[in-house]
Structure 1
Amino acid sequence: MPARQSNRLLRPESLTGVGIILASAALLVPIMDLRPISALLPAAMLGSLIILSLILVPMDQRKASAGEQPAPVTRSPRRVIGAFALIAGYAIATDLFGFYPSTAVAVPLVAWLFGYRNPLGLLLATVIVVGAIWVIFDFAMSQEFPVGRLWQE
């Protein structure tokens, strides 16, 4: 039987929620320097993360007050580490090779790692995702994505 925690604010879900709130609030500061059209999506996403975390923390605290034991932080640490490695790899690839080539590789890679193995479906999903991003952001909103250090003059 697990030992009871002395401080219910140290539950993993509560700590995660507070961490997301603090990190999202900190990331809102540099967004203020962007053009309004460029800042819209990141600000909306960070605001949504803050709102969802403001819901998560009280829900977890209610569970704590009812005496419910916290869920383990992770059931599969290798998958969590792998997910963080994929995110880091995607960020590095975007910086080096550019947004579109990195995304064209990342979309099918992530789908394949999650168990989707149909080659035609992977190709179709990649074309739809990359194409939709291009149509919405590059074509309709005239936003430029990083081209990558390797291709810059």
Structure 2
Amino acid sequence: MNNASSANTPSAARGIDPDLVAGIIIVLGAGALLSRTSDMPGMTALLPVTMLSALVVLGLLMIGRCLLRRRRRGDPEATAPAPLKVFDNARRFFGIVVAIAAYVAGVALLGFYTTTAVMIPVVAWCFGYRSLKGVLLADLIFTGGIAIIFVVLMGQELPTEFFLR
């Protein structure tokens, strides 16, 4: 009877912790992209290096938090092989992956500002934020802030907009 009840515990049914998977993917992805910044000029590489380094640190913190949480609980999964279930909602995960790929493709095809100005309201809507005024204000502040930082303060150009080519 103990075996049946332990098999139905949230720990056993959960599988691999999604935060652990996300942390590993973030560290590997940010590390791979960080290696590509060595060819960039100093000021151009400043923001990508800073952001990617922060992602590596945050990914490592996610991994560490998952491992500490398992150890504190005395989780049997820490020593036993985990079941195959990895994601609570695979559709949501793959939706995020598709959104990231669409953003990267959009920057290359449409330009940074246009793609960012379109993606901010789309992502906000997907997360359930429905205030048009709030979304447009956030869009203006973020996209305008990036433009001010890169073009005015740093003198760096981002990928050219499709209507300026």
- How high is the TM-score relative to the length of structure 2? 0.73
Amino acid aligned to 2:133 = L
1:98 alignment partner in structure 2: 111
Give the CA deviation at 1:15: 4.9
1:32 alignment partner in structure 2: 38
1:21 alignment partner in structure 2: 27
The change in CA–CA distance for 1:18 and 1:101 in structure 2 (over 3 A counts) is closer
User: Over aligned residues, Cα RMSD in angstroms?
Assistant: 2.8
Q: Is the 8 A contact 1:96 1:150 kept in 2?
A: no
Given candidates 133, 139, 144, the residue that maps to 2:152 is 139
Rounded Cα–Cα distance in structure 2 between residues aligned with 1:18 and 1:117? 32
Amino acid aligned to 1:46 = L
Q: Relative to total residues, which structure has the larger helix share, 1 or 2?
A: 2
Amino acid aligned to 2:61 = I
1:67 alignment partner in structure 2: 75
The change in CA–CA distance for 1:27 and 1:2 in structure 2 (over 3 A counts) is farther
Identity of aligned residues (%): 35
1:114 alignment partner in structure 2: 127
Structure 1 residue matching 2:39: 3-state secondary structure: coil
Rounded Cα–Cα distance in structure 1 between residues aligned with 2:130 and 2:66? 37
Structure 2 residue matching 1:32: 3-state secondary structure: helix
Rounded Cα–Cα distance in structure 2 between residues aligned with 1:41 and 1:108? 24
Gaps spanning 5+ residues in structure 1: where? none
Give the CA deviation at 1:64: 3.5
Give the CA deviation at 1:99: 0.9
Rounded Cα–Cα distance in structure 2 between residues aligned with 1:19 and 1:85? 15
- Structure showing greater radius of gyration is 2
Aligned residues: 147
- How high is the TM-score relative to the length of structure 1? 0.78
Amino acid aligned to 2:125 = W
Rounded Cα–Cα distance in structure 2 between residues aligned with 1:76 and 1:95? 30
